[in-house]
Amino acid sequence: MHLVTPHRAALAAFAGLLGLGIGFAPATGTVASPPPRQEVAVETLAVAGGVHVLVGRGGNVGVFVGDEGVLVIDDQMKPTEQALFDAIDALSKAPWRFVLNTHVHGDHTGNNASFGARAPIVAHANVRARLADPKRDGGPLAAPALPVVTFEEGLELHLNGERVRVKHFANAHTDGDSVVFFERANVVHTGDLFFHGRFPIIDLDRGGSVRGVVEAVDELLTMLSDDVRLIPGHGALARKSDLVAYRDMLADSLKLVEAAQREGKSLEQMQQERVLSKYAALAQQPNSEQRFLETVARELGAK
């Protein structure tokens, strides 16, 4: 997901998931009810070797804790701010050492201002450039919300007896993607290079590419052991085989759309015929089959 603009269906689905019963039915009676306060729950799961994942609203947050301090990977968006602070404080009282943004999207960087006040933000140079861009939707972020340590290829963080390797993959989900490897724990946070169990959003307008994701995942797969635990950008914890299945779905989708193009089909025809319907089970608002088809077709130049 990126730059999530909550709309009713998504909010209702979200509320339903949490069992909060937040409804959007019109108010009955003559006095309008106050809008329901939106509760946000964050679930904490231990992965391995001090690495945890926090699942709330937005991208999966990685939290690495130990005696020397805390590393936080991604920070979701405004509604989860306090719930994330509470969940991280419950894991560790140690000082925060670094906050890392896996990429630019608002559902991964939306709490940068308050998280950046607790530790320096680290990200690929393009993440900072896009967040600071005067032409950014909603305006450039103020200095406290911007990454202060940037890199081009990658870097290593040494913390809690662990070597944390951060590696950039070019032009995949965006043009500023990072994957985070915890070597001892054998855990990898993939950022949005991997949407587990759902269609991906791939941001062609910010340097992303479907083919680029396939190439990045191919390279990433060569770097993973068979028993690695994967924290995807979105979706449940995963294994290497899940990432292989995801890669194959992307490559197959490219082939299916190319074949339709060779038959002279327009995007509209492809949508009517639902050329990606075999993957319909991966649809999850707002990551719909048609939206993904549109992304693939657009990348391939379909009219």
| Residue range at the interface with Zn ion (CB under 5 A); choices 32-40, 185-193, 261-269, 278-286 | 185-193
How many residues bind to Zn ion according to rule CB under 5 A?
A: 3
Q: Closer to Zn ion at the Cβ: 79 or 286? A: 286
Please name every residue paired with 165 in a beta bridge, in sequence order, or none if there are none.
Answer: 156, 181
Residue 236 beta carbon to Zn ion: minimum distance, rounded to whole angstroms: 17
**Per rule CB under 5 A, is residue 177 in the interface with Zn ion?**
no
CA–CA separation, 254 and 265 (whole Å): 14
**Per rule CB under 5 A, is residue 234 in the interface with Zn ion?**
no
| Residue range at the interface with Zn ion (CB under 5 A); choices 19-27, 97-105, 115-123, 162-170 | 97-105
**Per rule CB under 5 A, is residue 2 in the interface with Zn ion?**
yes
| Residue range at the interface with Zn ion (CB under 5 A); choices 130-138, 184-192, 223-231, 250-258 | 184-192
Q: Which residues of 39-57 are buried (b: 16+ CB within 10 A; e: fewer)?
A: ebebebeebebbbbbbbbb
Site for Zn ion in 105-134 (CB under 5 A): 105
Q: Closer to Zn ion at the Cβ: 105 or 124? A: 105
**Per rule CB under 5 A, is residue 192 in the interface with Zn ion?**
yes
DSSP 194-222: EETTSPPP--GGGT--HHHHHHHHHHHHH
Q: Closer to Zn ion at the Cβ: 50 or 59? A: 59
Q: Is 208 exposed, middle or buried (0-12, 13-18, 19+ CB in 10 A)?
A: buried
Give the E-state strand segments of the chain in sequence order: 43-48, 51-55, 61-64, 70-73, 96-100, 121-124, 149-151, 154-159, 162-169, 177-182, 187-195, 229-234
| Residue range at the interface with Zn ion (CB under 5 A); choices 141-149, 190-198, 257-265, 285-293 | 190-198
Chain contacts with Zn ion (rule: CB under 5 A): 2, 105, 192
